[in-house]
Amino acid sequence: MNNFSLDNTLVIMDEFTKRLQAIDQDKLRSYLRASQAPCYESTLLNLAFPEMEISRAEPLTLYQHHFLLFHVLYRLQDEFYKEGQYLFVHFMRTILVTYPEDGQCRFFEELLGRFCKVACRSGRSYCDFHAKLIGDTALEELSIKYFYLDAQNFYKLNAETAKAFIAGTWEILSHYDDYRKSFAILGIPETADLHIIKKRFKHLAKEYHPDRGAQSREKFHEINNAYQLLIRVHSMMKAFQVEEPIS
């Protein structure tokens, strides 16, 4: 049994490696270095896989190409780090920027595509304001990165679950402003997982319970709509989610 499992792993890794080696990483490097503005994933997919027709691809094919691209991008992120540059990886705004000088805040403001750069206290990497925000956000980003660096996750989805993943992605794209606003309404980072979303909603629902009056009722509706949108997207992308109870 152990030999069988090992053989299967080797087959998976061989196929993944074969597809990975077909990507022209030099072309991606050159594009990222030259680009002055954030770019969409679709642009990078066309560079990495010029033979693929994105609009006609099956969901599983899209997922696998998406995974391969992000695997490469996160490897390039480590490579660029050694050169003093930060590759921010995102499906709508991937961009390469130079790290701030020592003594300047290294919090990356993704909507602006730049670092904070406010002066920090001696020996610190973040300003006082961003030091309070960086903990959970950094951990979530690290978790996402290592998901894509694990080659076995290339086969995480099948045809059915890939369809749900793509549906969730399109839900985000078609309601992206509302999606981002929902996180802001709940007061949590966009990297928050399902457990954090539920926990935060529970806290706010108690604070703004409808029975407390018209003002609370109006605020509760806003919070509930934001919560329901995030839950809907997460349920569509449930192949990536681990359900946890609210504590």
Q: What is the pLDDT of residue 70?
A: 95
Whether residues 25 and 106 share a domain: the answer is: yes
Q: Which tens digits make up the pLDDT trace of 146-178?
A: 889 998 888 888 888 787 777 777 667 667 778
Query: With 90 as the cut, is the pLDDT of residue 47 above it?
Result: yes
Domain that holds residue 224: 158-247
Say which residues have a Cβ less than 8 Å from residue 90's Cβ, sequence separation at least 6.
Answer: 38, 110
Whether residues 197 and 115 share a domain: the answer is: no
Whether residues 98 and 206 share a domain: the answer is: no
Whether residues 82 and 48 share a domain: the answer is: yes
The dihedral formed by the CA atoms of 222, 182, 117 and 77, expressed in degrees to the nearest 10:
170
Q: What is the pLDDT of residue 139?
A: 65
Tell me the mean pLDDT in the region 31-57: 91
Whether residues 1 and 86 share a domain: the answer is: yes
Query: With 70 as the cut, is the pLDDT of residue 223 above it?
Result: yes
Q: What is the pLDDT of residue 103?
A: 94
Q: What is the pLDDT of residue 201?
A: 92
pTM here is 0.68
The alpha-carbon radius of gyration of the chain (Å, integer) is 20
Does residue 112 contact residue 161 with C-beta atoms inside 8 Å?
no
Does residue 119 contact residue 127 with C-beta atoms inside 8 Å?
yes
Given 128, 156, 184, the domain boundary residue is: 156
Please state, in angstroms and as integers, the Cα–Cα distance from residue 63 to each residue in 54, 149, 154, 237, following that order: 11, 15, 8, 12
Distance between CA 132 and CA 189 in Å, rounded?
Answer: 12
Q: What is the pLDDT of residue 179?
A: 82
Whether residues 109 and 24 share a domain: the answer is: yes
Whether residues 74 and 35 share a domain: the answer is: yes
Query: With 80 as the cut, is the pLDDT of residue 130 above it?
Result: yes
In eight-state DSSP terms, residue 102 is T
Q: What is the pLDDT of residue 171?
A: 67
Q: Would you place residue 237 in the very low, low, confident or very high pLDDT band (cuts 50, 70, 90)?
A: low
Given 100, 135, 156, the domain boundary residue is: 156
Whether residues 162 and 150 share a domain: the answer is: no
Q: How many domains does the chain have?
A: 2
One-character DSSP codes across 112-173: TTEE---B--TT-SS-HHHHTTHHHHHHHHHHHHHHHH-GGGGGS--HHHHHHHHHHHHHHH
